[in-house]
Amino acid sequence: DAGVTQSPTHLIKTRGQQVTLRCSPKSGHDTVSWYQQALGQGPQFIFQYYEEEERQRGNFPDRFSGHQYPNYSSELNVNALLLGDSALYLCASRRQGEEPQHFGDGTRLSIL
Amino acid sequence: QKEVEQNSGPLSVPEGAIASLNCTYSDRVSQSFFWYRQYSGKSPELIMSIYSNGDKEDGRFTAQLNKASQYVSLLIRDSQPSDSATYLCADPPNFGNEKLTFGTGTRLTIIP
């Protein structure tokens, strides 16, 4: 039973570019959340998707957007990348209304 | 806005000793707490969840929740080198709030 999978594992971009990160939830899960974890910090909630809609959003600018597909997989898009966007981006999935969330191993994004 | 404060460490403990990790939280209606362990470069892994006041023991791990003081702790007995990791406390989703609110994490090193 595959857990949460994320791709790519590492990514290097330059300022101003845009990036798309991908997540496949654990089998049986329908809800996907995205978190940003800066070095030495705890994960910060970006947003959550359920039934292909954004259900809740954290304190992140509109440069951060997402999408959920009918198969429950999800994408995180970040436009106009800034140096401060360098972080580990984590995807977590669960069945709606249930805990706990299961995390993927993340995508390490570096902005030069 | 929920907040979780965590003793940021780093914390070094001799092998075989007790490691003590602590968090305080701001949301008086929080009913439960999670503890995650995160090895370097890996995703957070849920190791303990506590849903009521008092203590919960699971092997070498004991979680304590004090709702009156808005305080939660994790004790690791007979610490092993494999316990070396960053430990994150998290206030889980509740009452329509869909996000996990994490502390900043405490980096624990067990000294052989």
Encode pLDDT of A53-93 as tens digits: 999 999 999 999 999 999 999 999 999 999 999 999 999 99
Q: How far is residue B5's CA from residue A63's CA, in Å, rounded to a whole number?
A: 28
DSSP-assigned beta bridge partners for residue A86 = none
The pLDDT of residue B92 is 86
Q: Do A90 and B49 touch (CB under 8 A)?
A: no
The pLDDT of residue B27 is 81
Specify whether the CB–CB gap between B24 and B39 falls below 8 A. Answer: no
pLDDT in tens, B6-31: 977 899 999 999 999 999 988 877 88
**Across the A/B interface, how many CB contacts are shorter than 8 Å?**
51
Q: How far is residue B80's CA from residue B16's CA, in Å, rounded to a whole number?
A: 6
Three-state DSSP at B2 gives coil
Task: Determine the distance in angstroms separating the CA of B16 from the nearest CA of chain A, rounded to an integer.
Answer: 26
Q: Do A99 and B6 touch (CB under 8 A)?
A: no
Q: How far is residue B99's CA from residue A81's CA, in Å, rounded to a whole number?
A: 24
For residue B111, is pLDDT > 80? yes
Q: How far is residue A68's CA from residue A83's CA, in Å, rounded to a whole number?
A: 26
Q: How sure is the predictor about A1, in pLDDT bands with cuts at 50, 70 and 90?
A: low
User: Which chain B residues contact residue A90 at CB under 8 A?
Assistant: 43-44
What angle (nearest 5°) sits at the alpha carbon of residue B45, between those of residues B43 and A96? 95
Q: How sure is the predictor about A22, in pLDDT bands with cuts at 50, 70 and 90?
A: very high
Q: Which of B35, B39, B43, B87 to mutate to test the interface with A (most CBs of A within 10 A)?
A: B43
Q: Do A42 and B105 touch (CB under 8 A)?
A: yes
pLDDT in tens, B53-96: 899 999 999 999 998 889 999 999 999 999 999 999 999 877 66
For residue A98, is pLDDT > 90? no
| Other Cβ atoms closer than 10 A to A97 | 9
Q: How far is residue B7's CA from residue B104's CA, in Å, rounded to a whole number?
A: 8
Q: Find the mean pLDDT for residues B44-60.
A: 92
Could you say which DSSP state residue A84 is in? G
Sign of dihedral through CA atoms A14, A103, B36, B78? negative
Q: How sure is the predictor about A4, in pLDDT bands with cuts at 50, 70 and 90?
A: very high
The pLDDT of residue B9 is 80
The pLDDT of residue B94 is 74
